A and B are shown apart, each in its own frame.
Chain A
């Protein structure tokens, strides 16, 4: 518990700094949000009214105090386009995005780890080179290209899986997650495979693996019980470090597959110049990245006793 508390304390300066940056990004950069929201044909009076409604006519310090007190009360204002509290919109969108991020991670691990293990065990054979080329190809194909290819194949050519929406029953939720998860996860498969390969090769050179082999343990047991458990620790770390990229991938996949979530929410808010919602999504995405990093830290600590020592 003390360790978790210490980690949380370490995260505070970064999170507070990021929340400050969100505030300044929305207010200090050139361009008037109210004018941008209303378009070029807006009257000066309409712009002034909206500025007043958004609190943009107040001094910067007062605006900051409003922002900070709103954050404390989890009140991020109301959406200008939908007239709904921003926190309600965020609460509706976070779960589908987290589900998709989790689905993408699962795909990258389920495909990347076996690919990396195969490449390490068959080092310098055609299988290794094939896995390496596949990994490189994976990180070179962006999420939206994967998405379009998957849509073409499994939603238009052979319509076996839903191409849009997030599903209403648990089975449909699962079915609607498959294609977007593959699109999000395949971009990370290459990374996971490469790290698994290099990490497993490092572990296989250790004395305890040689000892396990020397005492007559079967190769699958040596790999599964002794080597892979330690080799997967760096994989876990890199997945955690990549939390931001994974969230970004989920945002794009939501657009391609017309799924609800933070991606669709921010994109619609950007198109409507709905600044309170944009600000809310930025805050939530920072908090999610920081929390995902924290979870990775804790899992890493749990998996590697040397860190606890």
Chain B
């Protein structure tokens, strides 16, 4: 119940829950149609009739921000669910089995990590077309490798533990060992990564929509609302301000919640405290081992190298 003793996290959790409920209930709320245009109500500032004002086509900003929240959360959860499942599966294969599939998965991971994630998402969405599913796929392309690396790193350290050896010795099958002994013990860091990647996915979707490559008008997304508001920035700043604030508050809330969950679940961070310890980690591009703090690891979604690889690198 550490949550109750942390007001900032309480506020963030409350915000995230309210946002999720509003996003779910938005079709039932007494709000104007987010795509309904009105010439009379063009560029109206916030007022009792339109609490957050209207845009260039007279559409209600509050309604569009809430419908945008629905889409942002759908993309955030969709990307993390898809990337988490695929990345964990590939990470398990790469970490548990030491044969050619492991090498192949690792090389592919390195290759995908060599691309700037935004450019990869931009090109993927261009090739596949822009709808909700393709946007989720396009963002996932850059996120799956992070799950693969995390799962592999965790599993490499778990697979050498005594209880896994014991399970192997009594003849348990590989799938059973992976499911009952390895994967269940690797769940905590995966939950942390999921929480930290939801805001990343929301931000990337907003960026794609802002650039006109994600979900386009008239469907409201926070990114395309800012894009269209930019044209009348001086005359009607509320067009840009409210979707911008929605992005910042949502990402901030999920980042804080992610930090809190990490601190609660990860004993090494709890014990190391803010000062942190320097841990070895492999550079994706070269495989060279470097020493880096826990905060940096968290920021990159990386895990420390296993003792085996550390010995090989002479750390």
- Chain A contacts to B: CB under 8 angstroms: 7, 10-11, 13-15, 17-18, 20-21, 25-26, 29-31, 123, 136-137, 139-145, 148-149, 151-152, 156, 191, 194-195, 197-199, 201-202, 205, 234, 237-238, 241-242, 244-245, 247-248, 251-252, 255-256, 266-267, 270-271, 273, 278, 281-282, 285-286, 289-290, 293-294, 297, 300, 307
Contacts and interface: CB of A to CB of B under 8 A. Distances in A.
Contacts of B226: 144-145, 148
B290 A136 contact: no
7 nearest A-B pairs in the assembled complex, by CB-CB distance: A248-B118, A201-B275, A17-B111, A140-B252, A244-B116, A198-B276, A140-B251
B96 interface: no
Given A202-B275, A248-B119, A281-B119, A234 B244 contact: no
A20 B212 CA distance: 28
B290 A300 contact: yes
Nearest to B302: A241
Contact of B128 (A29, A151, A286): A29
Interface residues of B, number: 62
B293 A199 contact: yes
A151 B285 contact: no
B179 interface: no
A206 to B, nearest CB: 11
Interface string B201-223: 00100110011110000000001
Interface stretch (B13-21, B39-47, B163-171, B229-237): B229-237
A194 B278 contact: no
B206 A142 contact: yes
B29 interface: no
Interface of A is mostly: helix
B211 A255 contact: yes
A142 B111 contact: no
B299 interface: yes
Nearest to B141: A25
B234 A26 contact: no
Contact of A202 (B223, B276, B299): B276
B295 interface: yes
B300 interface: yes
B111 A282 contact: no
Interface of B: 107-108, 110-119, 122-124, 126-129, 199, 203, 206-207, 210-213, 223, 226, 230, 233-234, 237, 240, 244, 247-248, 251-252, 255-256, 259, 274-278, 283-288, 290-296, 299-300
Contacts of B233: 148, 151-152, 156
B210 A29 contact: no
Given A148-B233, A244-B115, A252 B210 contact: yes
Given A198-B295, A198-B296, 13 more contacts: A7-B286, A17-B107, A17-B111, A137-B248, A139-B255, A145-B247, A145-B248, A194-B299, A199-B278, A245-B118, A247-B116, A278-B126, A293-B283
Contacts of A11: 285-286
Contacts of B285: 10-11, 14, 290, 293-294, 297
A210 to B, nearest CB: 15
Contact of A29 (B127, B288, B299): B127
A266 B255 contact: no
A225 B214 CA distance: 49
A31 B126 CA distance: 10
Given A17-B110, A148-B226, A293-B283, A282 B115 contact: yes
A270 B300 contact: no
A270 B213 contact: yes
24 contacts: A7-B286, A14-B111, A15-B114, A25-B127, A29-B127, A136-B256, A137-B252, A140-B251, A145-B244, A145-B248, A148-B233, A151-B230, A151-B233, A156-B233, A156-B234, A199-B278, A241-B296, A245-B116, A267-B213, A270-B123, A271-B212, A285-B119, A297-B283, A297-B285
Given A17-B111, A202-B276, A270 B126 contact: yes
Given A148-B244, A151-B233, A234-B296, A142 B115 contact: no
Contacts of A234: 278, 291-293, 296
Contacts of B113: 244
A238 B300 CA distance: 8
A25 B121 CA distance: 12
Contacts of A191: 299
Contacts of A256: 230
A248 B116 contact: yes
Nearest to B127: A29
Contacts of A307: 290
A197 B293 CA distance: 10
Contact of B286 (A29, A198, A244, A293): A293
Given A14-B114, A248-B116, A252-B207, A140 B299 contact: no
Nearest to B108: A17
A267 B211 contact: yes
A141 B210 contact: no
